[in-house]
Amino acid sequence: MCLGIPGQIVEITDPERLMAMADVSGVRREVSVACVVTPDLQDLVGQWVLIHVGFAMSVIDAEEAEKTLEALRGLGEAQETLEAMAEGEAALEGTQ
């Protein structure tokens, strides 16, 4: 399964190489915008994109970005709960 994470383009860092800085939940990463290039790269600044392995794969709207980020947060919480349950189970097995 491929997982794309929403990020907002905040700056074009290298127009010749089609590279931009994206903010992903407060973490900035340089990504390639070759797949979403526009005639004027500056038009991408402020846009939300779906990022996968360092590439902006598609432009998405802010509402879709927020829904996706919320779902990813929920998955993180579910993972934490599963890990806590597994730890609790292991502790119980160790006391028997």
So where are the chain's domains? 5-95
Would you say residue 96 has pLDDT above 70? no
Partners of residue 19 on adjacent β-strands: 14, 32
Full-model pTM: 0.77
Question: Using one digit for the tens of pLDDT, what is the confidence trace for 12-67?
Answer: 999 999 999 999 888 899 999 999 999 999 999 999 999 999 999 999 999 999 99
Which are the contacts of 15, defined by CB distance < 8 A and separation ≥ 6? Answer: 41
Helix or strand holding residue 20 (H, E): strand 19-24
Chain length of the chain:
96
Is CATH 3.20.20.140 correct for 5-95? Answer: no
Pairing relation of β-strands 55-60 and 48-52?
antiparallel
Helix or strand holding residue 75 (H, E): helix 62-95
